[in-house]
Structures are given as structure tokens and as C-alpha cells.
Amino acid sequence: MPTCPDGHESSTDDWCDVCGVPMVPVGAAVSGHESSDHHHDSGTELLASPRPSPLMVSCSSCGVLVPAADRFCEHCGFDLSAPAATRGTWIAEVTADQAVFDRLRPDGLTFPTGRPRRVIAVTAGEVVIGRSREGQAFQPDIDLSGPLTDPGASHRHAMLTRTDDGGYTVTDLGSTNGTSLNASLDTLEPGRPYRLADGDRVHVGAWTTITLRRLED
């Protein structure tokens, strides 16, 4: 079975049967993020891949070949004029996720429809996810209060820890309502680090989904 750019095995070859992303990214000749050497010559291995012409560049976020004159990558929307991301930079996309809310059905809460997505850069060695409270000194790095408020999130809910090879793990810090991954109903064992893959979704609280994406250089 073919593998989609987000790593799922798909029984269909046009759009991923699991997550719906296009199986072959628009404009790219090679499959997905598995191979990270877009700017090397990949023409010898795969028959149909064109050599990058002088007018095309490889997006530093997703690797797709795009016209050099473009400001934004047509596949992932990354700002091509921004300085190249540091190797191993991750971003955390925080959303209020209806699917999580529907699964948990928390009593007495109304889902906050229309809340926009927020994207936060994740670079530090330890990144704490939690909900700050007035009068408390400690501020979580990803703060689920105010515009991102989630009443089901604990003060110190979970933590992202950088690994030696530039990746991240997620650890539940003994939260009240638990942390889960990728739509699973099982909660993570508190205190145990779980390795994160690019595109993994961390669910905390009543409706928060934090999608971790890794930026390649």
C-alpha cells in the first residue's frame, strides 16, 4: 500500500484514505516527506522526476519544487522569503478540535466554534503545555488560557522535550484529564516520554489538539 506524506498507509492512491491529504504533493515528482534530499539529484533513482530547473526552488518547509519567484509555497503556504528555518525547528499548531470534543463529550461545556488556529514555534529544550491561572508565577510555554482557553487542561498538563537528534517527545505531567495522541482514546502514561513524529496530534483538555510539524531545511 502506498504511504501518504503524513505517514499513513493508504488503500487509495489519489488522496490518503486515512487523513485526506494528496498522495503526491502538488508539483512534486517524488513521494512525500520520506525522502528529504529534494535539492539533491533524485533523478537517477526515480524515472519520472524532472531535474530542478534554474527557475525552481525547493520549499524549505515541505520540500516541494516551486517557482523561485513565488512568495509562498503553493503546497504548504510557507513564507519562502523568510530566513531558512533552523534545522530541527518544530511548529505547534493549536486548534479547538470538534472531533476531540465529540469523542470526550465533556459535561456542561460548549464547544468554542469559530476559534482560529494558532501556530507557535517550538525550539526550546523543554516546552510546557498548560493553562495559566491568575496569581500564579509559573507560565506555561503553550498557554491554554485566554484566546486558547481550554477548561479541561491542567495547569501543568504536558511537556515537549527535545531529543538529541532534534526531535521531540511528549510527556503527560500528571494532568487531571489526561493526554492522548492521534485520535486515540487511550491516554498517555504519566511521566513517560512518547516520541513524536512529524504531523502527530497531541490532544489535551476538552477540545485542544496540538499538531506538531517539523520544518526541514
Partner 1 sequence: MTTFAAQTYQNEYLPADGTEVNAIVTVSCSGSGAGTSPRTRAEVIIVDTSGSMGHPIAKLKAAIEATKAAIDCLPDGTLFGVIATEGDARRVYPTGDELAVVSHTTRSQAKAVVDQLRADGGTALGRWLLEARRWLAPHPDAIRHALLLTDGDNEGESPAEFAAALQACRGVFQCDCRGIGTRWQVSELRAAASALLGTVDIVARPEDLRADFEAIMRSAMGKEVGDVRLRLWAPRGARVALVQQVAPAIEDLTSTGVSVDDRTSDFPIGAWGDESRDYHVCIEVPARSVGEEMLAGRVSLVVDGEVQSQSLVRAVWTDDAALSTKINPHVAHYTGQAELASAIDEGLEARRTGDDDTATFRLGRAAQLAAESGNDGTLRLLAKVVDIDDATTGTVRLRRNVDAADEMALDSRSTKTVRIPPAG
Query: With DSSP H G I counted as helix, E B as strand and the rest as coil, what are the percentages for the chain, rounded to 5?
Result: 5, 25, 70
Q: Residue 22: name the closest of 90, 74, 71, 89 by CA.
A: 74
Report the C-alpha gap between 127 and 14 in whole angstroms.
37
Interface with partner 1, residue 99, by CB under 8 A? yes
Query: Which of helix, strand or coil describes residue 53?
Result: coil
Q: Name 193's bridge partners.
A: none
Site string for partner 1, 36-75 (x = CB under 8 A): ------------------------------------xxxx
Nearer to partner 1, 16 or 122 (CB): 16
Residue 127 CB, nearest approach to partner 1 (Å): 21
Q: Judged by CB under 8 A, which of 39, 40, 51, 117 binds partner 1?
A: 117
Q: How many residues bind partner 1 (CB under 8 A)?
A: 28
Q: Within positions 7 to 26, which residues make up the interface with partner 1, using CB under 8 A?
A: 14-22, 26
Nearer to partner 1, 41 or 70 (CB): 70
Query: Which of helix, strand or coil describes residue 97?
Result: coil
Q: Judged by CB under 8 A, which of 9, 13, 41, 102 binds partner 1?
A: 102
For CA atoms 100, 92, 214, 58, the dihedral sign is positive
For CA atoms 40, 41, 46, 49, the dihedral sign is positive
Nearer to partner 1, 97 or 216 (CB): 97
User: Where do contacts with partner 1 occur on this chain (CB under 8 A)?
Assistant: 14-22, 26, 72-78, 95, 97-99, 102, 116-117, 183, 201, 209, 211
